[in-house]
Structure 1
C-alpha cells in the first residue's frame, strides 16, 4: 500500500498477534529506510511525509489507537481515508505447530490469536458444558456431524480429556470412519478447528464491533475494505455494511433490490447499494481470479467487500 500510494501521510498497522506485528514492523522500517536512501533529488520531499505506527490491538479498539496517534482523527473531526481489515489466519500461524491451528501438525490445543489471552481450545473441549460444545461445532463450524463429535468429546473427558491437536484429530478420524476417507476427516477436522478458533478468539462478535468502530473513524468519502475467508465472516460483513449505511432502516431484501450499476472509473465493482450514511460498493463480493488462485491456493475462499462513508 505504501508503494502504491506515495501520497500517503499516515499509516497505522494493527494486529493482535505479536509475531505478525514484529514482521510487519520490520518490513515497514525496511521500506521507509529504502525510500529515504533512494530519494535522490526528491529526498527532501520524502522526508517526513509518511508517519508509520504499529499497535498490538484488535480493530475494535481503533478509536483508542487513532486517538493515541492524533486525537483529531479519532472520531469525526477529520477521520481516515481508508481502512483494510484482513481476517482469518496467515500461513505463518498455520505452519507453527505450537500455535495449535494446524490439522496436520501435532501441537497444544491453543488456538489463541493473542498469546496473552487466557482462554484456550483445550479449556473449551475439556470443561465447557456439553451443549455449548455442540453449539460451537454446529454454529461456528457448520458441521453436520456435530452431535456425534460432541458425545465423543464429552466421553474423552472421562479418560483424561483432550490436550493436543493430534488427540483431537484422532477423535475426529474415529468419528468419520467410512465417510469419505482421508478427505472426509480432513474436511471435518478443518470445520472443527475453525469452530474452536472462532470461539477461543470470540471472532464473530469482535468482527461486528470492529466494523462499527472502523466506520465511525472514516472521513467523508473514506472507505472500509474487509477480506473474509468463510461464510460466517462474510455474512456478518454483508449485513453489518447494510446496517451501517441505512441505520435502523436496514432491510436485507429491500437493500439488495435497490442496487445500481457501479462507476465506470472503478470497474472492480459492478453494482453498489446506496444508503443515507454511505454506499456499499460491492453488492456482490470480489473473489480472487484464476491467476491469483494459481499463485496462492489459500486465497481461493477470500471475499472482498468495500463500503464508502457519506
Structure 2
C-alpha cells in the first residue's frame, strides 16, 4: 500500500520489482496527482487499486477491496514537487499564487482563511509548533497588523510580511527564506497532517502481515519524531510506566525497528534532487504474534 501515491514514482518501482502477482493499493487526496499516477502506472492497470482519500482512512480502502492484511506499506510525507511547482496551489513562497495550500482542493479550510481569521495566539501556535519558528509571536503580530489594512490573499504577499517580521540581521544571514517555516506550519495545519500521521501510526500495525514492513519518509523533525517514537513503542511492547520495576501489562513487541538511525540521501542524490536533503527514511517490520521474527 502506497498511502501517499503522488505521481506514482514509488509505486512504479514497487510494481516493477515485486513480481507479476503483486497488487498495489494507492491512496492520495489530490485528484490531479491520482490522474497522473494512473497514466504513469497504466502498464499495471489490472493490478492497481487507486482511491481518492487521505492515508489516515486506509482501512476503509482495504475493506472496500477485501484486503485484511497487507505485505508492506510506504508513506512519503509532506508536499509533492507537483504541488510546490504549481503556483496556483498556493504552497510556494517563491511563486505568486492564491494563498490556498489545500492538498485536496475540495476540503474546507484554506491557508487564506486561517491567516485572516485566527487569533494571535492560535496563529502563533501553528507557526511555533508546526513551523518550529522561534519568531512565531512576532510573525503572528505582523500578520494581524497587515490584515487590518487589507486581506492577505496571495502567497508572495504573506511571504513579504513574514520576511519583514524578521530582524534585518537574521533576514540576511538566514540559510532559507524567512517564510519557509511559516508556510510549513500553515500547510500542516490546513491539511491536518499531524493528526493524519498520528492516526495512521496507531492503526497500521494491526493491518500488517507478520514479516511485512512499513517504510515512512519524513521531511521535518515533528514527523520524524512521531515515526521514531511510534516504531520504538511498538518494538518495546510493554506499556507500563517507566518507574515500574516489573511489567504487569503483558504487552509484547509487535514490530522490529530496522533503522536505528534514519536513512538519508547521499551526496549524489542531494545534488540530483535538492528537495531530498531533509528526507529521513525509517523502516520497521511486523513480528509474529509470539514476538518472534516471521
TM-score range, shorter chain: 0.7 to 0.9
Find the counterpart in structure 1 of residue 44 from structure 2. Answer: 32
Give, in angstroms, the shift of residue 61 of structure 1. 1.0
Cα distance in 2, alignment partners of residues 15 and 183 from structure 1: 38
Cα deviation 1:68-115 (Å, max 9, x = unaligned)? 111xx33xxxx1111011111111110111111001011111000111
Find the counterpart in structure 2 of residue 53 from structure 1. Answer: 49
Contact 1:13 1:53 in 2 (8 A): yes
Find the counterpart in structure 2 of residue 92 from structure 1. Answer: 82
Cα distance in 2, alignment partners of residues 185 and 282 from structure 1: 29
Partner SS for 2:214: strand
Q: 2:62 aligns with which of 61, 66, 78?
A: 66
Contact 1:17 1:113 in 2 (8 A): yes
Find the counterpart in structure 2 of residue 2 from structure 1. Answer: 15
Cα distance in 2, alignment partners of residues 302 and 212 from structure 1: 22
Tell me, yes or no, if structure 1 residue 283 matches structure 2 residue 257.
no
Alignment of 1:268-279 (within 5 A): 276-279=253-256
Contact 2:258 2:285 in 1 (8 A): yes
Find the counterpart in structure 2 of residue 11 from structure 1. Answer: 24
Contact 2:112 2:152 in 1 (8 A): yes
Cα distance in 2, alignment partners of residues 231 and 119 from structure 1: 25
For the structure 1 residues 183 and 101, does the alpha-carbon distance in structure 2 shift closer, same or farther, using more than 3 Å as the test?
Answer: farther
Cα distance in 2, alignment partners of residues 135 and 57 from structure 1: 28
Tell me, yes or no, if structure 1 residue 132 matches structure 2 residue 132.
no
5+ residue gaps in structure 2? 1-13, 243-251, 288-294
Cα deviation 1:37-88 (Å, max 9, x = unaligned)? xxxxxxxxxxxxx621111111111111011111xx33xxxx1111011111
Q: 1:21 aligns with which of 34, 57, 61?
A: 34
Cα distance in 2, alignment partners of residues 80 and 91 from structure 1: 28
Cα distance in 2, alignment partners of residues 176 and 248 from structure 1: 46
Give, in angstroms, the shift of residue 183 of structure 1. 6.2
Contact 2:238 2:253 in 1 (8 A): no
Find the counterpart in structure 2 of residue 176 from structure 1. Answer: 166
Cα distance in 1, alignment partners of residues 21 and 269 from structure 2: 26
Partner SS for 1:110: coil
Find the counterpart in structure 2 of residue 123 from structure 1. Answer: 113
Contact 1:172 1:185 in 2 (8 A): no
Give, in angstroms, the shift of residue 278 of structure 1. 1.6
Give, in angstroms, the shift of residue 250 of structure 1. 7.5
Give, in angstroms, the shift of residue 121 of structure 1. 0.6
Give, in angstroms, the shift of residue 243 of structure 1. 2.4
Contact 1:61 1:213 in 2 (8 A): no
For the structure 1 residues 166 and 80, does the alpha-carbon distance in structure 2 shift closer, same or farther, using more than 3 Å as the test?
Answer: same
Give, in angstroms, the shift of residue 216 of structure 1. 1.6
For the structure 1 residues 302 and 242, does the alpha-carbon distance in structure 2 shift closer, same or farther, using more than 3 Å as the test?
Answer: same
Contact 1:220 1:309 in 2 (8 A): yes
Q: 2:216 aligns with which of 207, 221, 226?
A: 226
Tell me, yes or no, if structure 1 residue 144 matches structure 2 residue 156.
no
Partner SS for 1:234: helix
Contact 1:2 1:8 in 2 (8 A): no
Partner SS for 2:174: helix
Give, in angstroms, the shift of residue 28 of structure 1. 1.0
Give, in angstroms, the shift of residue 131 of structure 1. 0.4
5+ residue gaps in structure 1? 34-49, 253-274
Q: TM-score scaled by structure 2?
A: 0.85
Cα distance in 1, alignment partners of residues 158 and 130 from structure 2: 17
